[in-house]
Structure 1
Amino acid sequence: MCTGGRAKSLGVALLFLSTIAFLCNILLFFPGGKAIDNINHLSQEVWYFGGILGSGFLMLLPANMFLDLKYNDCCGCCGIKSCGKRFAMFSSVIFAVIGFLGAGYSFIISLTSIRKGPKCLMDNNEWGYPFHNGDYLNDKSLWSKCRGPENVISWNLNLFSILLVIAVIQIVLCAIQVVNGLLGTVSINCCKVG
């Protein structure tokens, strides 16, 4: 399979993953699966839009570029067809780096949120972060520090974990396209992109 065909496969995968990331981030606005009456009761990391911005919209740029790469020759370059294909493959590297940065942003937000834990109603009837340095991950008895919303800990933990895994997969796929794009740029004469 040529480098343009590989890029198309990566584009389809990135498009699918960005859709899931987008949906996960939206679900985080409903802690425990329920609507919340005060937006100040949401965790800070939900508002950083790691799944919507990083793994979502920013990932749409490389995904769409990769989908069309197989047929893109940038109109040739001064009438030399392979030169235009080389430019198209090189531009895919730039878009892959943009996707890499977006997924990295989502990864950092998700990891921070998992370690910090969700914002919840604590025993003193105040909203805050009762956990420290991920201590609740190893000791489930600490979960009783959160009185509400119901199931907020498992809800946030599951959704941010999904976003974390998606970000890692997207980082790997973008790294693959960087290598793929560089190989396509260098060896475009050996393999037709179209």
Structure 2
Amino acid sequence: MCTGGCAKCLGATLIPLAVLCTLANILLFFPGGKTVEDSTYITNEVWYFGGMAGSGILMIFPALVFLGLQNNDCCGCCGSRSCGKRFAMFSSIIFAALGVLGAGYCFVLSAVAINKGPKCYTGSHWEYPFHDGDYLGNHTLWDKCQSPENIVPWNLTLFSLLLIMSGIQAVLCGIQVVNGLFGTLCGDCKCCGCCGGDGTV
């Protein structure tokens, strides 16, 4: 596959993942699927907007850049037919690195939130009743959370989805870093001889 075509495929995959991460983060503002009377009752990691900012909005920029690479005008730059394409592929490496940082931010936040557990009402006050992920292997501990209803599986499911999707995003952006390096050195197959074009490198 051409480097531009590969980048377009990666970009097309990143956009739905970014949308899903944003939706998952929004749902976390409704513990157990319900609104809470006080925003301080929402788990702290939700307010860091890992899914909305890191794997959501920030991921849109590299995705759009990747999508546009295949159609980038690569002619007439510096007197070389493939110069423009090479520069575009090089710039995609920078955006891919930005995507890795955004996905990494979401990944770390999700991992911390899963290990920490949700904030809930335990009968006396609102707190984090779990420690070091002890609730993950012992479902009987979930009864410590009396309110909101089903808050433990709700948070665990959504943060796990964010963890998985942000991990996939980081891998895809990492692939584009490698793809971008090939594109910078080689150009795209439609513009560069090393891939069977006009014989120039």
Classify the TM-score, shorter chain. Answer: over 0.9
Match of 1:117 in 2: 117
Match of 1:51 in 2: 51
Match of 1:77 in 2: 77
Report the AA paired with residue 34 of structure 1: K
Report the AA paired with residue 49 of structure 2: F
For structure 1, list consecutive stretches of 5 or more residues without a partner in the other structure. Answer: none
**Structure 1 residue 12: Cα displacement:** 0.5
**Structure 1 residue 141: Cα displacement:** 0.8
Structure 1 residues 1-194: aligned runs within 5 Å = 1-73=1-73, 76-124=76-124, 126-188=125-187, 189=192, 190-191=194-195
Cα RMSD of the aligned pairs, angstroms, is 1.4
Structure 2 CA distance for partners of 1:192 and 1:138, relative to 1, 3 Å:
same
SS at match of 2:176: helix
SS at match of 1:155: helix
| C-alpha distance in 1 between matches for 2:75 and 2:123 | 65
**Structure 1 residue 37: Cα displacement:** 1.1
Structure 2 CA distance for partners of 1:76 and 1:149, relative to 1, 3 Å:
farther
**Structure 1 residue 80: Cα displacement:** 2.3
Structure 2 CA distance for partners of 1:24 and 1:192, relative to 1, 3 Å:
farther
Using the aligned pairs only, state the percent identity. Answer: 60
Structure 2 CA distance for partners of 1:13 and 1:192, relative to 1, 3 Å:
farther
Report the AA paired with residue 133 of structure 1: D
**Structure 1 residue 91: Cα displacement:** 0.5
**Structure 1 residue 76: Cα displacement:** 4.1
SS at match of 2:149: coil
For each residue in 1:25-66, what CA deviation from the matched residue of structure 2 results, as whole angstroms up to 9, or x when unmatched?
Answer: 000000000111110100000000000000001100100000
Report the AA paired with residue 56 of structure 1: G
| C-alpha distance in 2 between matches for 1:182 and 1:144 | 52
| C-alpha distance in 1 between matches for 2:64 and 2:178 | 18
How high is the TM-score relative to the length of structure 1?
A: 0.95
Q: Is the 8 A contact 2:75 2:82 kept in 1?
A: no
Q: Is the 8 A contact 1:89 1:184 kept in 2?
A: yes
Report the AA paired with residue 174 of structure 1: C
Report the AA paired with residue 191 of structure 1: C
Q: Is the 8 A contact 2:51 2:106 kept in 1?
A: yes
| C-alpha distance in 1 between matches for 2:74 and 2:58 | 22
SS at match of 2:70: helix
For each residue in 1:109-156, what CA deviation from the matched residue of structure 2 results, as whole angstroms up to 9, or x when unmatched?
Answer: 0000000000000122x1110000000001111111101000000000
For structure 2, list consecutive stretches of 5 or more residues without a partner in the other structure. Answer: none
